[in-house]
Each structure stands twice: as structure tokens, then as C-alpha cells.
Amino acid sequence: MADEEIAVRRRRTGDDQLNKKRFRKPSGIKSVLLIIVGVWAVIIVVVCVILWHALSNYQKKYDSAKASAQVDVCMSKIMADFDESIVAEAFEKYPQSEKACENDTAKAQHIAYFEELLEDRSVSWKDNENTTDSRPVYDIYVGETKIAVLTLGKSKTSDSYGFRQWEISSLVFDTDAVLYSDYTIKIQSGMSVKVDGVFLSSEDVVSTTAADPAIVELLTGKGIAADVCKIYRIEDYIGTPEVVVMGTDGLPLESIEPVDGVYDYSNYGNEELVQTVTQRVYDTCAAYTNNIYLMASFEDVAAYLITNSDAYSVILDVQASIVWSWQPTVVNIVSQKVSDIEFYGDSYFSCTYESSVYRANDTQSETEDFCYRMLFERVDNNYYLTYFVMG
């Protein structure tokens, strides 16, 4: 038994020593190596995370740059800032139509027009018929009105990702969208006129009479000067001009509204006389119309004519020779207007007479338009027709 106990004790002692060997702490070198390996492992993980984030951000920026280089995206960005502030820049930077830049005044008017059109208004765009993938062209609209044609082109330089952005290469405002108006200004020979704050000069005068050339020749043959006024013409004006007329005393006259685009100061101060002679023209033409269409007595119209004058002879010949294909029983002057009244001293005045005449019988009807240039002569405090031509 003693021997067996001794053997058991030896085995236990051996096992304890073996266990001590198994759980012996590592040496110093191994500890350092383990620490180094651990640190590198952490570094590698951190670097991988940083690289992943960097590559992810790069990919996002790359995709964003690629998307922003798409023509639709570029166009949306451009149009987001398309407002009245772009007009003046476009007129300076890109060629415009000849009409829009005919002179400084026309240029300023067009810029102001499009700026006002775009103020607080949203815009839209559609593909122009000439658009291509390499040269996108768009029609720009305000509401239903086309106001410009915009062309895109690739920028000359690339961004950091190698993409070239689309940018405006041309922006031409459409003058077809502009409402142009023509104006005539008639003043007496001793007056002067300013338009938009600028005096018009003698070089701007287009005529000194509105009378028909045949009437001017007739007056000249009688030794009467026909240049009784100054006529100015303003064409392709945008909006309404500011017209200020100075009287013969240099003081501004009361402003008047244009009638059919005409500022007529040629009879300023003679309004009552103008009304009188206008009615005289109406009465004369009513008698003439009845004489021609209803075969009224020649004496009725002769009461408004200078005896043996050109007008007297013409109307007498017409009544004697005219034959209508159908005879009206009803004749009405449905509209009439007298304009371009000019007085030549106290003896003569000329005018333009326009009318629409309706005539009918039991089976048919029609309306005819007429325009006459007429000259009246004063006899015994009244005016009589002495000459007329078809206008």
C-alpha cells in the first residue's frame, strides 16, 4: 500500500508540473509581437473603413458630376435662374436680331419690353425643330408666347471628373413676340415736338403736307403754298411713346390721345372750325352718294360744288354715263371718317374722306368702301368741293 501511495503522489506531482508548463505566461517577445499584430489589425480595419467611405463619396460625386453633365439637368438649372435679369446680359453677350438692335433706342426698348414680360413670370421650354443631341436648341415660352430661342453647347474645359458641362452658347430673343406700333405726329409748321424726352429735328420730318400730290400741284398752280405742317413718322415702336408738343410760344400744349396711331396737332386750337368743315364734307358726300346710286337730281349735289370746277364736271359726267348692273332702292352710309384736314389760308382746305356704303334692293345687297382725297374752296363764308381723286 505504501508503494502504491508513493506512486500516486508521483503521478500527481508530475501532472501538476505538466499543468504548470501548459499555463506558463508567454515570453516578452511574444507579447510584443501580439501587440504589434493587434495594432496593425486595427490600422488595417480603420484604413479599410476610410477607403470605403472615400470611394463611396467619390462614387457619389462622380455620379453627381455625370448626372449634372446631362443636358436635361443643365437645362433645368439654367431655366431655374431665367428671369428678367438675364435679358440685358443676353443682349450684350449674344447676337440678337437686326431689328432688336437697329440702334440704341431700339435696343433699350427691346430690353425693357422683355424684362417687363419676364418680371414675376414663370417660363417653360420645348424642343426646337432644329435641336440635335450634339446641339440642343429650345424654344422659351412665357405662357403661350414664344419669347426666345436658346442653344446649348459644351464648355471648353472639363471638370475634375472629366465631364464637360452644357452651357448657353446662344440666346436670341424673338421679335415676333413683340407688339410693334407705327405712329404719325402732325404739328403746325411753327411748333416743335419731343418724343421720349428728345426733340425731333428737321431731318426727322417726312412731309410738310398730307394732301394728295395732285392737290398740292393744283394749289401750287394757284400760287398757294401747301407746306402748312410738319409730319413725323415713328415706326416699329414698342408701347406708346411719350409725345410732348410745344406751341409757337415754346410752351407745352395739352396732350392729346392718338387716333388710329396719329397725334394730330395740325389744327390745334381750331377744333370748332374742324367740326364745321367735317360736317360740310359729310353733307357733300351724302348728296354725292344719293346722286350716284339713287339717281337723285344733279342740282342736289351741285349745291355743294364750285360751278364749272373739276369736281362739278366729273360728277356731272358720271351721272350722265353710269349704268348699274342692278339698281338699289336703299342706300345708307354705314360708316364715314374725315381725316388729314389741312387749311391753306382762309380760302382752301383739303382732307381725306373714307366711307362704307350699303346698298340693296329686294333681291340683293352689297357694301362698298371708298376713299377720296378732296379739296374745298371757300366762297361767301362756306366751303364747296372743287376737286377730288380716289385715295
Q: Which domains does the chain have, with CATH numbers?
A: 68-177 (no CATH), 180-265 (2.60.40), 271-390 (3.10.450.540)
Residue 316 scores a pLDDT above 80:
yes
Residue 8 scores a pLDDT above 60:
no
Counting runs of H as helices and runs of E as strands, what totals does the chain give?
Answer: 9, 15
Residue 324 identity (one-letter amino acid): W
Instruction: Report, as an integer, the average pLDDT of 255-280.
Output: 94
- Cα 14 to the center of its chain, rounded Å: 111
Which of 376-381's residues contact partners 24+ apart within 8 Å by CB, and which partners?
376/277, 376/280, 376/281, 376/348, 376/349, 376/350, 376/351, 377/306, 377/309, 377/347, 377/348, 378/346, 378/347, 378/348, 378/349, 379/306
pTM for the whole thing? 0.68
Work out the burial of residue 337: count CB atoms within 10 Å of its CB; fewer than 13 is exposed, 13-18 middle, 19 or more buried. Answer: middle
Which distant-in-sequence residues (6+ apart) come within 8 Å of 324 by Cβ? Answer: 293
Q: Which of 341, 283, 288 is nearest to 318 (CA)?
A: 288
Residue 157 CA to residue 135 CA, distance in Å, equals 17
pLDDT digits (tens, 9 = 90+) for 327-370: 899 999 999 999 999 999 999 999 999 999 999 999 999 999 99
pLDDT digits (tens, 9 = 90+) for 13-68: 555 555 555 545 556 687 777 788 878 878 888 887 787 776 666 556 655 545 55
Q: Angle at which helices 310-321 and 271-293 pack, to 10 degrees?
A: 30
Residue 170 scores a pLDDT above 70:
yes
